Amino acid sequence: MWKPGIEPLLQLADYVKVDFIQTGPSARKKLLRQLSDYAVALIAEKVETRAEYEQARAEGFTLIQGYYFCRPVLLKNRSVPRNRLSQVEILRMLHDEAIDLHKLSKLVKRDTSLTYRLLRLINSPLCAVRQEVCSVQGALIAVGETVFRRIATLAITSELNGDQPEEVLRMAFVRARFCELAARFCALNSAEQYLLGMLSLLPAMLRLPMEELTPTLPLRNEIRMALEGAKVPEGVLLAWLSSHEHADWDACGSIACAGRLDEDKLVSCYAEAVVWAESALHFF
């Protein structure tokens, strides 16, 4: 709520958070009117439901935080759509030790939207390819197998997100890049961690419980366990980031201490991941 004497701070601020639980629509309307004279970005925090998310958007909030993005309403008796199963199959192939390019190309070409997203990403500044790429085979040759796997995973994840809020996709991108960057600090496989972070928001994208999704995913058992919330070494980075997202600093410290991780380095990786995710989103 507005407090007398806060004006000097608002002159310095870049962002102002508005608590959606403690403020009603009329109070927020008044507050937003009071803040209209200041060059600040408004963040709606503690958004818990889809209705609150839509309300925040309608009120003019462009930045939104809350458990809604991590705890979606799951649908009962719902199976994974056939086209999503095809995309999961492509994910499985991407993370095989050797890529079967012929089979992979056929699967990708069947999905027009996925093909478009993949080629758009490959031709973007994210990959810095010098000449335009117009085929899956050309993409693999142009950027190399490691980068191709990562970019194709981005494209598939954006398809899996479907009509869910863009923030879910942003969080998935941040998690993927963070886990990839920080993997070197705890002797974990960076490519595997990238996939772990990316897939950790599949329940929000497909609105299905993680326990129903993990059997279909191309992952080692330890990674499946990490996705389901088990305390395994492979899940330490995702656990730290989840606590960071919830501003649970005590939990962050405990996880870092138990894993002998340098929190300053983790925060640096997080900041880099946020910048990278924003860049990636410009191409969808």
Question: Any long-range contacts for 146-150 (C-beta under 8 Å, 24+ apart)?
Answer: 146/191, 148/99, 148/122, 149/94, 149/95, 149/99, 149/191, 150/180, 150/191, 150/194
Q: Are residues 55 and 118 in the same domain?
A: no
* 3-class DSSP state of 15: strand
Q: Are residues 273 and 152 in the same domain?
A: yes
- Alpha-carbon torsion angle 188, 190, 193, 198, nearest 10: 170
| 137-160 pLDDT tens trace | 888 788 888 788 878 888 888 888
- Tell whether 1 is covered by a domain: no
Structure token pair of residue 251: 């939990």
- Tell whether 74 is covered by a domain: no
Number of helices (H) and strands (E), helices first, in the chain?
16, 3
Q: Are residues 42 and 115 in the same domain?
A: no
Residue 69: pLDDT band with limits 50, 70, 90: low
Q: Are residues 133 and 169 in the same domain?
A: yes
Q: Are residues 184 and 253 in the same domain?
A: yes
- Tell whether 136 is covered by a domain: yes
| 157-181 pLDDT tens trace | 888 887 777 888 888 999 999 999 9
Residues 6+ apart with CB under 8 A from 138: none
Give the pLDDT score at 77.
Answer: 47
Domain count, the chain: 2
Q: Are residues 13 and 106 in the same domain?
A: no
pLDDT at 75 over 90: no
What is the residue range of 47's domain?
7-69
- Kindly state the percentage of the chain with pLDDT values over 90: 25
pTM of the model: 0.71
- Tell whether 92 is covered by a domain: yes
Quote the CA–CA distance of 67 and 85 in Å, as a whole number: 27
Quote the CA–CA distance of 164 and 167 in Å, as a whole number: 8
Q: Identify which of 136-140, 218-222, 249-253 has the greatest average pLDDT.
A: 249-253
Tell me the β-bridge partners of 15. Answer: 41
Residues 6+ apart with CB under 8 A from 237: 178, 179, 182, 183, 186, 188, 193, 197, 266
Q: Are residues 134 and 245 in the same domain?
A: yes
- Tell whether 156 is covered by a domain: yes
